[in-house]
């Protein structure tokens, strides 16, 4: 039974941090001699052993029956995460990789988001997750109809830098005059929502002569498809294969459940939306949520935004035996750069 928990003294805190960092690095239970030699010089291994026993009694460490060493519990990880500096510096390789990605990135926010999710997975070696912004509140910057051989492409750019595309069949009787007229109407949709755009297109179709009417009705349907597609929330997942290297630290049943959830998407989406922080960074560890408890996993997520308005969430999922400090720094940095890009895309050019 765990003892009464409160603020840890400096030595217990140092021992807990040493056990966690050694266990994250090696995946093996940590003994008192290792802690005394590498992390707490000048203190005997017997004293360290007593501190580890006290931390076990408090519920921060566990003692596998097959080993003399100890491993962190979910509560121990939480104590560690809450005690580390909230604004830790990025490691230099991470900083360079993030800077290089955003220097070379595209101007389509959804395309950038896919790349940023892949970047986070590469930096942390866990699975990257992201929820794109919804189109529900997005405003149109530009709408254009482009001829592509026997088809037409409706291209819509939103204020948040999101690019919406829908390929449509060329209506019967289509001609260049109708296309020019419709493109002029599309230009007038600037700064409207998708709902307002559809209302205007519908009104224009009722008053327009054929074949322009047919084309406007087709575009009305295409805008509806884009609106519904953009409004339906989904989660991007990248780097699931990275989790395979952690199989040894997971029970096979928990590892299988996480992989199945990542494939289904809906369970991961629900979890990310529940954990999504309003302001800064959220860290969810193991038994703090039924899903992560079942998977023996942890989720670190941060919002990206325009000004004070959150657009979506980006983060990672991995084992509870996670390099929390480096992962928190990477997630926070990528979310900040996404916010800067989204704000720049949302700001009209002078």
CA distance 135 to 194: 8
Window from 9-18, 113-122, 127-136, 186-195 with minimum mean pLDDT: 127-136
Provide the residue ranges of all domains of the chain, joining segments of one domain with +: 10-83, 92-134+234-346, 140-231
- Residue 48, pLDDT > 90, answer yes
The residue-averaged pLDDT of 114-140 equals 88
CATH-assigned architecture of domain 140-231: 2-Layer Sandwich (3.30)
The residue-averaged pLDDT of 257-268 equals 81
What is the model's pLDDT at position 250? 66
Q: Which CATH number fits domain 92-134+234-346: 3.40.50.970, 3.30.365.10, 3.30.450.40, 3.40.50.2300?
A: 3.30.450.40
Window from 39-53, 175-189, 313-327 with minimum mean pLDDT: 175-189
Per-chain mean pLDDT for the chain = 85
Q: What is the pLDDT of residues 89-106, one digit of tens each?
A: 788 899 999 999 998 876
What is the model's pLDDT at position 30? 94
Sequence-ordered alpha helix ranges (H) in the chain: 10-26, 32-38, 45-58, 74-83, 92-104, 109-124, 176-187, 194-207, 212-231, 252-264, 266-275, 290-295, 324-346
The CATH number that domain 10-83 falls under is 1.10.10.10
Whether 308 and 10 have beta carbons less than 8 Å apart is answered as no
According to DSSP, residue 90 is labeled P
Q: Give the residue, 158 or 232, on which the prediction is more confident.
A: 158
The residue-averaged pLDDT of 225-252 equals 75
CA distance 14 to 19: 9
- Residue 86, pLDDT > 70, answer no
């Amino acid at each position: 039974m765990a003892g009464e928990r409160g603020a840890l003294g400096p030595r217990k805190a140092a021992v807990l941090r040493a056990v966690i960092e050694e266990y994250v690095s090696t995946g093996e239970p940590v003994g008192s001699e290792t802690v005394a030699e590498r992390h707490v010089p000048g203190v005997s291994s017997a004293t360290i052993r007593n501190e580890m026993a006290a931390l076990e009694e408090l519920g921060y460490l566990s003692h596998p029956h097959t080993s003399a060493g100890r491993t962190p519990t979910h509560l121990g990880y939480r104590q560690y995460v809450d005690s580390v500096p909230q604004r830790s510096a990025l490691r230099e390789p991470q900083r360079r990789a993030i800077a290089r990605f955003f220097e070379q990135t595209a101007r389509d926010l959804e395309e950038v988001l896919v790349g940023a999710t892949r970047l986070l997975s590469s930096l942390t070696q866990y699975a990257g997750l992201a929820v794109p912004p919804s189109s529900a509140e997005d405003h149109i910057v530009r709408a254009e109809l482009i001829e592509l051989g026997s088809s037409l492409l409706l291209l819509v750019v939103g204020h948040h830098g999101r690019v919406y595309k829908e390929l449509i069949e060329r209506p019967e009787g289509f001609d260049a005059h109708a296309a020019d007229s419709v493109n002029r109407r599309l230009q007038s949709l600037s700064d409207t929502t998708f709902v307002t755009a559809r209302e205007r297109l519908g009104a224009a179709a009722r008053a327009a002569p054929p074949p322009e009417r047919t084309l406007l009705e087709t575009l009305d349907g295409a805008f509806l498809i884009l609106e519904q597609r953009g409004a339906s929330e989904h989660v991007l997942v990248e780097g699931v294969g990275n989790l395979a290297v952690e199989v040894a630290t997971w029970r096979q049943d928990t590892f299988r459940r996480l992989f199945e959830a990542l494939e289904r998407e809906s369970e991961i989406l629900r979890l990310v939306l529940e954990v999504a922080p309003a302001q800064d960074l959220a860290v969810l560890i193991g038994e703090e949520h039924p899903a992560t408890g079942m998977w023996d996993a942890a989720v670190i997520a941060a919002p990206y935004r325009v000004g004070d308005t959150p657009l979506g969430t980006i983060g990672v999922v991995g084992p509870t035996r996670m390099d929390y400090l480096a992962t928190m720094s990477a997630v926070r940095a990528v979310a900040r750069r996404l916010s800067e890009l989204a704000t720049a895309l949302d700001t009209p050019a002078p």
